[in-house]
Amino acid sequence: MLTRRQAYEAQVRRRATTRAALSTFGVIAALVLLIPLAPGWPAVKRSFFNAEVFVDTFPGLLNAFVLDVAIFAWSAPMIFALGLLVALARDLRAPAAYPIRLFAILYTDIFRGVPVILVIYLVGFGIPGLGLPRPWNSPYIWGTVALVLTYAAYVAEVFRTGIDSIHQSQRTAAASLGLSGADTMRFVILPQAIRKVVPANMNIFIALQKDVALLSFIGPVEIFRQAGVYKSLMANFTPYVGAALIFLAITIPATRYADYLLAKQTRARS
Amino acid sequence: MSLIETRALRKQFGTTTVLDGVDLSVEVGQMVCLIGASGSGKSTLLRCLNLLDPIDDGVILLGGEDISVPGLDPQPVRQRIGMVFQSYNLFPHMSAVENTMLAPRRVHGKSRTELLPEVTALFQRFGLGDRLHHYPDQLSGGQQQRVAIVRALAMHPEIMLFDEITSALDPELVGEVLDTLRELREDGMTMILATHEMGFARDLADRVCFLDRGIILEEGSADQVLTNPREPRTQAFLKRLL
């Protein structure tokens, strides 16, 4: 038996669900009916949503996407490590370490301030341009370096926020036990800080997964480049749609998971 | 000889003088209670003794050695002084036993296997025998505070400082923490407590110091200070508590 309040809330919920369903259905129906009325629709349909081209190119795209995943997979740990190092360097208080600290500050300012694509061009074309012998002129190496340099700057800032967010009383407690500053950071502050910023870092790494496609501008035939090749071959844009779907298949679940972690953390804190 | 002693200790935060010439001397095995209103300087005094807050003037002697020399490395000093805080300050990402072993492992270079028997014995002694592997958020306030005490004891300090350690506890949990202090008292541990537990101070303290506006306005046996205070300000403070 429902209480009066429960009955009322159930009724409100039913009404809300009905309205949401009706309005969603209405919007979708309008889109489906209206878009084909546009004068260019048949042409767009042919060149962007061509089922035949989609089926032909999708396996090739998936294949090329493996390279995106690989570049992501070897960049991510380096970004994590460099980001952490830079965040720690900004915390150094010893006078002799001042140049390191200054360098860390300059580094984060510069690489957060320059568009990723510019860094990729400058590093990816500039450094091999020095006439390095193989394999040191590989766009894979320098493209990866460009991504690592850029993304580590963001990750460093996230780590620093995490470190700053740990309450002073934790440092005080560690100090009162006679722990050194380095041990306090390593065993008390960092483990808490890293856990705290997992959702924020996840969002950065999702952005990284997408930006791997930018390396196509300096050579590697990853999914975006492969889609371009198919486009030229078949005079059809459908491969780009296919590529977009493949990215979404990865990024949407990842984004949802990051949101879930964040929500869980917010709940735990309240 | 006194184990810890301050002479004309002064401490300012900005333009506010928090400690205005404190002379305190605690002998080995003594238990001294600091009482006084919030802001009278009790906590700051404890934090200065442990070199958590640098002092502006005066001297602190630990075992006759001046530990208030500016620029002195505070770490070795803090290893000899245990401290427990009002808000427990356990490390939330470590189990109770890891909390306790961290400092002995890192500072004394002992291994977990070496430490475990001794730490387990400490936990058992203070009624925490089944709580070794619990995380702080799985423990009650009273249990957390007892773990914090055990964590400080595991460093074998010569003296323990307690900064209002029962003030954040629910009333029904205060007793178990005070029992722990009673046990330490019987062991002969040298202790300085900032506290609002007047009944406890009356029962156990060798000496009670009433702090007011950054000085020790009145000190003496618990009976003298708590039952027959001389100073009108001490009388007023105690009257407000009742």
Closest approach of chain B CAs to the CA of A192, in angstroms?
A: 7
User: What would the two tokens of residue A225 be?
Assistant: 């480049």
What ipTM did this prediction achieve?
A: 0.92
**Mean predicted lDDT score pLDDT of chain A:** 91
Looking at CA atoms only, how far is residue A158 from chain B in angstroms?
20
Other Cβ atoms within 10 Å of A154 Cβ, number: 21
Q: Tell whether the model's pLDDT for residue A80 goes beyond 80.
A: yes
Question: Residue B147: pLDDT band by 50, 70, 90 thresholds?
Answer: very high
Q: Which residues contact A11 (CB under 8 A, 6 or more apart)?
A: none
pLDDT tens, B163-195?
999 988 888 889 899 999 999 999 999 999 999
Q: Which of B32-36, B37-41, B170-174 has the highest mean pLDDT?
A: B32-36
B107 touches chain A (CB under 8 A): yes
Q: Give the distance, in angstroms, between the CA of residue A114 and the centroid of all CA atoms in the same chain.
A: 17
Alpha carbon of B61 to those of A168, B77, B79: distances in Å? Answer: 27, 11, 15
- Chain-chain contact of A177 with B76 (C-beta, under 8 angstroms): no
Torsion of CA A101, A103, A105, A106, to 10 degrees: 160
CA–CA separation, B149 vs A95, rounded Å?
36
Residue A236 CA neighbour count, 13 Å, CB half: 19
Rounded mean pLDDT, A28-55: 90
pLDDT of residue B205: 92
pLDDT of residue A264: 83
pLDDT for residue A268 is more than 80: no
Percent over 70 (pLDDT), chain A: 99
Interchain proximity A178–B102, CB inside 8 Å: no
Please confirm whether the linkage preceding A115 is cis (ω < 30° from 0).
Answer: no
**For residue A267, what pLDDT is reported?**
78
pLDDT of B242 above 90: no
Q: How many CB pairs under 8 A join A and B?
A: 57
Residue B218: strand pairing partners = B210
CA distance A173 to chain B (A): 6
DSSP A77-103: HHHHHHHHHHHHHTT---GGGHHHHHH
| Residue pLDDT, tens place only, A196-248 | 999 899 999 999 999 999 988 888 888 999 999 999 999 999 999 999 999 99
> What's CA B59's distance to the chain center, in Å?
19
pLDDT tens, position by position, A111-153: 999 999 999 999 988 888 888 888 888 888 999 999 999 999 9
pLDDT band at A269 (very low <50, low <70, confident <90, very high): low
For residue B77, give the chain A residue with the closest CA. A178
